[in-house]
Chains A and B, each alone.
Chain A
């Protein structure tokens, strides 16, 4: 099973939920941090990382000896990453998406495959929980291929928790695509609702079952809860604002360690999600707070 944890905006407690949920699963769990621009699950999980594998993107390298200056490579590239200028083919490797179109079309077979480092995928253990994270190279802008490399570590035998990047853009979709369940973490504020709406609209086309966790549930308004009811989104947990939790977070502690009463609630949460995946279409349920 694959459970993706997403949030419309950053700072809503997505990582807090992902790390605690993965931790209560023990040896059945695997946490994959797909927020490759700023992976931070490791702060709470303290994993021992024992492997690190570089992930590269194929980029074109042109052999001007063979090139006949036909310009086809530049015409096919949608990203202006290769272009014929005068009697030279210029490449802009940092703009290349690695589709291979140019080398496929080159009539002279003048384009070979070079590579651009996107980042690394690291794996290890945090206690009994298997831990995987992607780290995007500083200065690299293209995260989806690295996120896909992280997702190759999904173990179908286990419960895989994917921590998605914040927002609702391409890297988020890349992460949550194929998940059995998408768990949205949000706050009951107008901003929270606004961003939740956008994120729900963006991922609902994927057709996965969804649920919502309300963090700092005692601040703000009831609008998020009303929205969940309207959309038949099950509200699976409320986490009221609590100094012990905030202080634990600041020290890099898991929520279930800073506030041990949550351990059982996260166990229940995983069971509830498993049920919703088995029986989609369950309507709104009221979460105990």
Chain B
């Protein structure tokens, strides 16, 4: 299973970035917490519009199964949903903490966007 986390830094102790589309990084982890890939999201961070869609595409292309994040807008959700990526929202703390919560199944999966656009 490939788990993506929106993050403000490049390692497990970095804070989770609550914004999905405009997150600074995406860390792709395996369930044991091994970092398989670090993706810089700099082009989307400053995008006027469509950041969530492009970020969704990146994760779809990377064949991610689950996303752990804070907020996810409608367009991003549509893109992630089309890729079959499950979206856990309203997470905070560090990347490690988010992963632990996910493993304890102590997360809330979004059935739809949990914010209006611009995230």
Contacts and interface: CB of A to CB of B under 8 A. Distances in A.
B43 to A, nearest CB: 11
A85 B78 CA distance: 10
A83 B54 contact: yes
Nearest to A89: B82
Interface in A59-104: 74, 79-81, 83-86, 88, 90, 92, 95
Residue of A84, A90, A95 contacting most chain B CB atoms (<10 Å)? A90
A79 B50 contact: yes
A86 B83 contact: yes
A85 B79 contact: yes
- Label chain B's interface by main secondary structure: helix
Contacts of B53: 80, 83, 90, 92, 95
Interface residues of A, number: 12
Interface string A176-207: 00000000000000000000000000000000
Contacts of A92: 50, 53, 75, 78
A84 B53 CA distance: 10
A92 B74 CA distance: 10
Which bracket fits the contact residues of B? 10 to 19
Contacts of B18: none
B112 interface: no
A86 B60 contact: yes
Nearest to B59: A85
B49 interface: yes
Interface in A142-196: none
Nearest to B56: A85
Given A90-B78, A92-B75, A92-B78, A85 B49 contact: no
Contact of B49 (A79, A83, A84, A90): A79
A88 B49 contact: no
Interface in B47-86: 47, 49-51, 53-54, 56-57, 60, 75, 78-79, 82-84
B60 A80 contact: no
Contacts of B54: 80, 83
Contacts of A85: 56-57, 60, 79, 82-83
9 contacts: A79-B50, A80-B47, A83-B54, A83-B79, A85-B60, A86-B83, A90-B53, A95-B53, A95-B75
Closest 8 CB pairs of A and B: A80-B50, A80-B53, A85-B82, A85-B60, A85-B83, A86-B83, A88-B82, A83-B57
Interface of B: 47, 49-51, 53-54, 56-57, 60, 75, 78-79, 82-84
Interface of A: 74, 79-81, 83-86, 88, 90, 92, 95
Given A84-B57, A92-B53, 15 more contacts: A79-B50, A80-B47, A80-B51, A83-B56, A83-B57, A83-B79, A85-B57, A85-B82, A85-B83, A86-B60, A86-B82, A92-B50, A92-B75, A95-B50, A95-B53
